[in-house]
Structure 1
Amino acid sequence: MADDFDVVVVGGGINGTGLARDLAGRGWRVLLAEREDLASHTSSASTKLVHGGLRYLETYEFSLVRKALQEREVLLRSAPHLIRPLRFVLPHAPHLRPAWMIRIGLFLYDHLARRELLPGSHGLRLAGGVYGAPLKPEFTRGFVYSDGWVDDARLVVLNALDAQARGAEVLTRCAVTQAQRGADDWQITLGNGRRLRSRALVNAAGPWAERFLRDHTQGANGRPLPARGLRLVKGSHIVVDQRFTHDHAYIFQNPDGRIIFAIPYQERFTLIGTTDVELPEHEEPPARAAIEAAEVDYLCEQASRYLARPVAPADVLWTYAGVRPLLDEGGSASSVTRDYLLEADAGSGEGGAPLLNVWGGKLTTYRKLAEDGATQLGELLGKAGQPWTAGTHLPGGDLGRHGVDMAAFTAELQARHAGRSPAVVARMAHAYGSATAGLLASPGREIAPGLFEAELQHLRDKEWACSAEDVLWRRSKLGLHYTPDERAAVAAWFDAR
């Protein structure tokens, strides 16, 4: 006998978990199915920025930038432990963009949406200053502006946690293998053999959205459902040892018209990215995207145009890559819109149960995407429900009397747990927010430096972590800090269970 749901969501990335959360909060019976771990691919491979997209102003995407800037403020309030303000230094390279053009762009960036939490932009003298010291001496002036930083994979987990807390069932490592559309419902089969009946289906499979429709769905007429073409663009990043010690990031302009970021990362490192490499037309998304040597060379070369201490391929300590599903609107890979398209229908002309396809999108606008999608799908189901996520904290985001003051919240935690390493308390505070105190109370055995059994137990039992990789490279980045033996100790902990 099939289990009954109102909505089944396919895909455990940021858009899928965001939609599951919003739908569950409106009272729908929701199941989310992800074939691997949450945020296994694109949603853990971003540049980890909550930003409006300064460079999109050059392609006149004012609507997208405004929407993203509005969401930047919403997200900063919803999870102040996970999402933090970040200032960006833009060194001026006169031969690439004149100063007047940059000033106009930054003025628009400051004023396209209401801004309360972040300071505005201004000019900056680099020569002889702390932000000019890591740069080559020819960069004497620049600009500084605000955006935000987020742990992208943890943001996905928080949305899944909130969806579950509001009644959704979240399944990881469980694919939807078949979805048959009927007149009134979807008959769905999972990889574990479980059968479901759902009033509606959401396709939030990211780069695999087109393939999912083609290979795993059937319309009421028995044929696969039509799919929209996507442009699949790989973005890769490199991590090197720390190139500067201050807390600002850099945005570097490249001669090819693109930009890259150099961001302080995990206390001891610098994150540099990203590339835009378009996959050949009709090529399937790779099971595990990987950086190519030419991309490493490109990122090193461009960063070295600015940094006084050059970056060489031999300096790279870690890399990651992901495939972005972008709407196919022509133009170069870097100029293709990062906006999303939601296609909600009740049968594509053939009649049948509702379907919502999610095409494209970017990390910063995921909450708005989910809100719009939940409203559209609700209307097809007969009751849109009220949007509710804009003023609601994500799990761990309610810091009580500290509001969005993460420094004060962390200081109070450290004072209460004076016997614990301040660095460990700070790391956990940023990961778990208001849930941190419970994990610090009875930490248990130390499995690897700064990683105790209580935290691992929480990650396994509450956050769907099934392996050392899930913990060390997605729910945290402790893998960067650990030796092979220390990583093996975490793997052994999971193997024993």
Structure 2
Amino acid sequence: MRDPAEAHDLLVIGGGINGTGIARDAAGRGLRVLLCERGDLAEFTSSSSTKLIHGGLRYLEYYEFRLVREALAERERLLRLAPHIIWPLRFVLPHDEGLRPAWMLRIGLFLYDHLARLRTLPGSESVRLRTSPVGAPLQERLTRGFVYSDCWVEDSRLVVLNAMDARARGAEIRTRTAVEAARRTDGLWSASLRDMASGRTESVRARAVVNAAGPWVSETLGGTLGVNSRAAVRLIKGSHIVVRKLYEGDQAYILQQPDKRIVFAIPYERDFTLIGTTDVPYEDDPGPVRISPEETQYLCDCINRSFAKRIGPDDVVWSYSGVRPLYDDAAANASAVTRDYVLDLDDAGGALPALSVFGGKITTYRRLAEHAIEKLAPYFPDLAPAWTGEAPLPGGAMPGADFDAYLAALRRDAPFLPEETARRLARAYGTETRAILDGARNLADLGESFDGGLSAAEVDYLVAREWARSADDILWRRSKLGLRTGPESAARLAAYLTRKAEAA
């Protein structure tokens, strides 16, 4: 075993999708990795996305063909590697007179279909909205449109699964631990860490640092690491609203707007519709952030422009916002800022690299991680080859990546689970669900029950294996049970977690 006092190969700052993806890749290649996240995993940007694994149809308008091609390839790959938290969706794109012409939409979808070198999802097709069921929720003035494929992802769970796999391969994952300062000293990086709960500090050493601090990437680079760089981050605030289900069916809608933006309406948690996102330049502290009344009204107006059923701010049951750390390419329009990523390497002319991640999107996180490790490879000559392209994420090793078959088997093996609970557990944990059930023969065996089918056995699993500490960690990041949990049940959960922590 390695000496605990031995220097880490890699110190990763940031527990979002890029940080955990890089930690996983590096650990699997034989590096000794320490990841520090000052809050919870995916607490900020990585749990605030539109929750899509997609090529980015609108990026074709900005000629980002390489990004779209890479994203489409990753869409197919991730669908195989995490079939429990990623699944296909069909998107309806109505043609709206006076906005983008139909021929432009058709050409864009043709490119979208053919930029994917290997495609398992159905291609695009035209649809007559007045005779198709997918047109029923829309206003009668919308008579024609197109349908195409992309995928949904449970974004915060994708982060947690990457962290779990990184730990399984030897990485040390520390949540609620801030990297207060790091400097090149005596041939290594020397970093000062602070435990955010206890206030205790300690020093660690590393051969390389990855700055995956998301919206804080520039602050971390110049302040925490003391490194000057010409690369800059541009902060864009994106907000979403959730309303009661607007329509029947599993299809999503991508709606063009007069300001040339697009807004999605997506089936959410079976009983709701997710609407977003906004693109607002942001210059304040990156988190936590909240939706503004203007953003709420904007998203309601977007729906009311296309749907027969009207909504207003009073219909919003939940909202969330995040700040996206995009690479500053000097675009005048926030919506036009590139979603591509830039990896900025500084080694002070020596052998102690600091790699900072600017930009990126959740779909391409795995390739970003591969590229990051490629950048660091010259400093680690014994590095093992790339491996994440064929390795399922925890819970995703289902024969044929067949979620429905796995769910059917789970229902047979645990017939006492209510149908909705069985589906929710299978979606969240995949094959890891067995570790939660752990031989249970009835619901009572799972211990205390909270709203939404949450049991003490599931809570214990989340604390022991997924770094959950608070009710918010469980109700809003490890799940979205907060949409179904009343204040009394949330308080009981918080009290249960306190008792668990005191007994530990």
- Report the TM range for the smaller structure's normalisation: over 0.9
Return the match for 1:436 from 426, 433, 438.
433
Equivalence for 2:443: none
In the alignment, residue 406 of structure 1 is paired with which amino acid?
Answer: F
2:159 alignment partner in structure 1? 156
Q: 1:294 & 1:157 partners in 2: Cα distance?
A: 33
Take 1:80 and 1:117, find their aligned partners in 2: how far apart are those partners?
14
* Alignment check: 8 A CA contact 1:182 1:352 kept: no
Aligned to 2:141: 138
Residue deviations 1:125-159 (CA, integer Å, cap 9, x gap): 11132111111111111100000000000000000
**Among candidates 448, 463, 468, match of residue 466 of structure 2:** 463
- Relative to the length of structure 1, the TM-score reads 0.95
Deviation of residue 447 (structure 1)? Answer: 2.9
Matched, 1:127 2:133: no
The one of 202, 205, 208 aligned to 1:200: 208
Q: Which moved more, 1:159-168 or 1:179-188?
A: 179-188
Shift, 1:227, TM fit: 5.7
Distance in 1 between the 2:37 and 2:474 partners? 17
Tell whether the 8 Å contact from 1:236 to 1:291 is kept in structure 2 after alignment.
Answer: yes
Structure 2 residue 252 is the aligned partner of structure 1 residue 249: yes
Equivalent in the alignment of 2:422? 425
Per-residue CA shift, 1:26-49, capped at 9, x if unaligned?
000000000000001000000000
- Shift of the alpha carbon at 1:381? 2.7
Aligned mates of 1:227, 1:208 — CA distance in 2: 15
CA distance in 2, matches of 1:97, 1:53: 16
Aligned to 1:211: 219
1:323-402 pair list within 5 angstroms: 323-331=323-331, 332-347=333-348, 349=349, 351-400=350-399
Could you tell me how far apart the structure 2 residues matched to 1:33 and 1:378 are?
A: 22
Classify the secondary structure of the residue corresponding to 1:63.
helix
Q: Distance in 2 between matches of 1:258 and 1:317?
A: 24
| 2:231–2:344 Cα contact (<8 Å) kept | no
How much has 1:65 moved relative to structure 2?
0.5
The whole-number CA distance in structure 2 between the counterparts of 1:286 and 1:119 is 38
Contact 2:54 2:363 (C-alpha < 8 Å) held by counterparts: yes
**From 416, 427, 448, the counterpart of 1:445:** 448
C-alpha distance in 2, partners of 1:112/1:193? 50
In 2: Cα distance, 1:8 partner to 1:238 partner:
36
* 179, 182, 185: which one aligns with 1:179: 182
- Note the alpha carbon deviations across 1:408-459, whole angstroms, 9 max, x for none: 2112211221121010000000000011123233322213340111100000
What is the match of residue 93 of structure 1? 96
1:41 aligns with 2:44: yes
CA distance in structure 1 between the aligned counterparts of 2:311 and 2:477, rounded to whole angstroms:
26
Q: Per-residue deviation at 1:380? A: 2.3
Equivalence for 1:221: none
| Alignment length (residue pairs) | 485
Structure-2-length-normalised TM-score? 0.94
Could you tell me which residue of structure 2 aligns to residue 300 of structure 1? 300
1:385 CA displacement: 2.8
Q: Where do 5+ consecutive residues of structure 1 fail to align?
A: 219-223
1:358 and 1:392 map into 2 onto residues whose CA distance is 23
Amino acid at match of 2:285: P
Q: Is the 8 A contact 1:85 1:148 kept in 2?
A: yes
Q: For residues 187-235 of structure 1, what are the alpha-carbon distances to aligned partners after superposition, in whole Å with 9 as ceiling and x for unaligned?
A: 11101312111111110001101001222123xxxxx443622110000
Pairwise CA RMSD of aligned residues?
1.4
Query: What amino acid sits opposite 2:424 in the alignment?
Result: R
Q: Give per-residue Cα distances to partners, 1:447-476, cap 9 Å, x unaligned.
A: 334011110000011100000000000000
Aligned mate of 1:472, from 468, 475, 481: 475
| Residues in 2 aligned to 1:492 and 1:370: alpha-carbon distance in whole angstroms | 38
User: Is 1:263 aligned with 2:271?
Assistant: no
Q: Any conservation in 2 of the 1:374–1:384 contact (CA below 8 Å)?
A: no
TM-aligned CA distance change 1:231 to 1:418, over 3 Å: same
**What's the counterpart of residue 197 of structure 2?**
none
How far did residue 378 of structure 1 move?
A: 2.1
- Report the CA distance shift for 1:20/1:231 in structure 2 as closer, same or farther (over 3 A): same
Please give the alpha-carbon distance, in whole angstroms, between the structure 2 residues aligned to 1:438 and 1:359. 37
Secondary structure (helix, strand or coil) at the match of 1:496 reads helix
Q: Does 1:9 align with 2:9?
A: no
* SS of residue in 1 equivalent to 2:7: strand
| 8 Å Cα contact 2:236-2:325 kept in structure 1 | yes
Q: Secondary structure at the match of 2:329?
A: coil
Per mean C-alpha deviation after superposition, the further-off stretch among 441-450 and 254-263 is 441-450
* Mean CA deviation greater in 171-180 or 181-190: 181-190
Q: 1:229 to 1:24 in 2, by over 3 A?
A: same
CA distance in 2, matches of 1:346, 1:429: 45
Determine the C-alpha separation between the residues in 2 that align with 1:227 and 1:162.
Answer: 34
Counterpart residue number, 1:289:
289
Q: 1:188 to 1:39 in 2, by over 3 A?
A: same
- SS of 2:490 mapped into structure 1: helix
What are the Cα deviations for residues 62-92 of structure 1, in whole angstroms up to 9, with x where unaligned? 1110010011011101100110011100011
The residue identity in structure 2 corresponding to 1:228 is A
With 173-182 and 265-274 compared, the bigger mean Cα shift is at: 173-182
From 49, 64, 67, the equivalent of 1:64 is 67
| Contact 1:182–1:353 (8 Å) recurs in 2 | no
Unaligned runs of 5+ in 2: 195-199, 441-445
Partner of 1:494: 497
Q: CA deviation at 1:488?
A: 1.7
Deviations 1:470-497 (A, max 9, x none): 0000000000011221222211211222
Q: Which residue of 1 aligns with 2:320?
A: 320
